[in-house]
Structure 1
Amino acid sequence: MSQIQEQNAWKTNGFLFLLIDLLLLAGSLYSFAVSNIPLAVIGVILFIFVGFGFLVVQPNQGYVLTFFGKYIGSVREDGFYWVNPLATKKKISLRVRNFNSEKIKVNDAEGNPIEIGAVVVWRVIDSAKAVLDMEDVEEFVDIQSETAIRSIASRYPYDSHDKDIESLQGNPDEVSHAMQYELQERLKIAGVEILEARISHLAYAPEIAQAMLRRQQAQAIIAARQKIVEGAMGMVTTVLKDLEAQGVVDLDEERKASMANNLLVALVSDSGTTPVINTGSLYT
């Protein structure tokens, strides 16, 4: 693995050398005027040589400098500079960029085929690695992002009614953090920082979409029924305890069972019911 790390390149005020360059040009013209051709030629050569060293850096832009094949540093601060005229200058953007992945078909943790896509927000933080270690940093981010999305999608189920099991649909924040960490680990060799990674598209694959929709509906009904029954049982228990505590009725075990059954029917039934509730006799 390459050991290249970004470092600051030598640079100086560009306006100072612009003044020197203009003086060289003026001296060359004067030499031509007085017919001192050798001095004029030297002046022109120096004027051109100095001109190769000027560098204008825009905000959120950087230049990677190499000198005869060796990395000599980067210039990241915006401004007008003069650098080694013989250095090769490679420009790179340091701006924040978005990558919107294609919809990828992959199997989730339960083996169900799903379609998933993500938005990745990234930027270059090490210009040397991004330029000198990568053939094309944008293509590298593209390929590694797709690989990370596939990896994350295969670790989670599409959906889960169990609160202890994280899912792609039910825990978007946790999945986003996991995806961001996965991407950062894969892309740090490219000098890239991942600012955010979020799922932008999530759906079952078309061939199983209808079947999974029916399964989801069935699971939702079962979960809702379970909650209703749990709540109804609590209500029935409270009612029976209150009746006994207040001395409204005196129920034997058989009548308690009958009353509990009728109350549960009334509370749990989808449609209106008119159960007969046997409370026993008020007189013994």
Structure 2
Amino acid sequence: MSTTTSHTPPESEGQPEEAAGPGGRSARLIQNEATTEIPVHLLFRDSGTDPVTVPLKPAVVARRQGIGEQPRLRRQPPVRRRPLPEVDPELVERPARVLPGAAGALAGACGIAGCLATSWWAGLLPSGAVQALGLPASAGFGPAQWAAYVGAGALGAFGFGGLARGRTGRAWVLGLFGRYRGTVRRTGLLWVNPLVLRRRVDVRLRHWRSEAMAAADPDGMALRVVVLVVWRVRDTARAVLGIEDHEAYLTECVEAALARVPVEPAGGTRGGVTAARDCLTRLVAEETGPVGLEVFSVQPVRVEYAPEVAAAMHRRRIAALDARQRASMLSSVVDSVEDTVTRLTVRGLVELDDYERKVLVRDLTVAFCSGRGEPS
């Protein structure tokens, strides 16, 4: 059997009497100088069952000024990073169809031979050369000769015009009428369709040393950082066709990563350049991966404070070094004094009372500090 116990505040506290609430339940009113009247109902059932379960909320310490109402706690939604725009999924590097260079050279030679034969057929060769070669007389120049000239000339131009030399570490991105037709990574003499548009791409392992870029240390002080980026083009189709300028995009990604990652100057104690290198490499690799670039390392090679704070930070570092040196010297002096006094007393060389011990410790400390302070 559950009972409900009500407590009636004394009249001296300025509380009003209980007022009847809906359903016959008693409602309690809270009223003072800074708040309005707020009904507070007892959260129990009239029957003998268990009380109503009410979810508890975090306590609020402050009240809204002027109205006496407690502010509502609004949970801030987590900040979600917008994903990078995806490149066309069909734009993936694939090998292009090319022929060995011998096929193009043979076609060009056939075209030249066809042009010579058509010249003899049209009677354009000197008569002395025709008689010396023992060739029959020509038939004259007509529409058939024109067609033979056009065909032989087109074959020769098509054969020799498609010859190309593939080099190690270089590739061609081929496109025909605005459509990607493949990538050529083969080396040696090749024959490529002369109608396609060729774009040369450097696919070797490359390194880029940046200019001084703005950054900040873990304390928010302005820095100037020079980084060395080791990278290469992994997917030529996405790097050339999926983005306007992949080298400029890499530069912007490095600058954006430096704005997000604190870089500690040399001699720091929070991970130094190694932690910054790992974090910068990971961020830049994530940003440039969708556009076909592969980043191996983004390493700060020179870190210095900005000109506006360089003098102040230099004085601060000198003061810190001086403080560490003084602390180290003091610890060494104390250890030396303690070791000397302990040896003298343990071996029984001297018998000291408290006053004499203090005097000896003082004299030894002054002597050791004076000796260590003299320049060598």
Q: Against the structure 1 CA distance between its residues 51 and 159, is the aligned structure 2 distance closer, same or farther, given a 3 Å change threshold?
A: closer
- What letter is aligned with 2:183? S
* Mapping 1:105-254, distance limit 5 Å: 105-152=214-261, 155-158=262-265, 163=269, 165-166=270-271, 171-254=272-355
Gaps of 5+ in 1: 273-284
Alpha-carbon contact 1:52-1:86 (below 8 Å) kept: no
Which structure has the larger Rg?
2
* Aligned pair partner of 1:64 in 149, 166, 173: 173
Q: CA deviation at 1:112?
A: 1.6
Q: TM-score by structure 1 length?
A: 0.79
Matched, 1:6 2:67: no
Q: Which string of whole-angstrom CA distances, capped at 9 and with x for unpartnered residues, describes residues 231-280 of structure 1? A: 223323322332233222233444444433433333335646xxxxxxxx
Q: Which residue of structure 1 aligns with residue 153 of structure 2?
A: 44
- What letter is aligned with 2:101? G
Helix, strand or coil at the partner of 1:84:
coil
Q: TM-score by structure 2 length?
A: 0.62
CA RMSD of aligned residues (A): 2.7
Gaps of 5+ in 2: 1-85, 123-143
- What letter is aligned with 1:228? M
Alpha-carbon distance in 2 for matches of 1:81, 1:160: 55
Structure richer in helix, relative to its length: 1
Alpha-carbon contact 1:118-1:149 (below 8 Å) kept: no
Q: Against the structure 1 CA distance between its residues 33 and 159, is the aligned structure 2 distance closer, same or farther, given a 3 Å change threshold?
A: closer
Q: Against the structure 1 CA distance between its residues 129 and 253, is the aligned structure 2 distance closer, same or farther, given a 3 Å change threshold?
A: farther
Q: Against the structure 1 CA distance between its residues 200 and 83, is the aligned structure 2 distance closer, same or farther, given a 3 Å change threshold?
A: same
Matched, 1:99 2:208: yes
Q: Which string of whole-angstrom CA distances, capped at 9 and with x for unpartnered residues, describes residues 136-173 of structure 1? A: 12211222222223333xx2444666x4x23xxxx334
Percent identity between matched residues is 27
Matched, 1:31 2:140: no
Larger RCO (alpha carbons 8 Å, 6+ apart): 1
Aligned length: 264
Matched, 1:262 2:371: no
Alpha-carbon distance in 1 for matches of 2:260, 2:337: 49
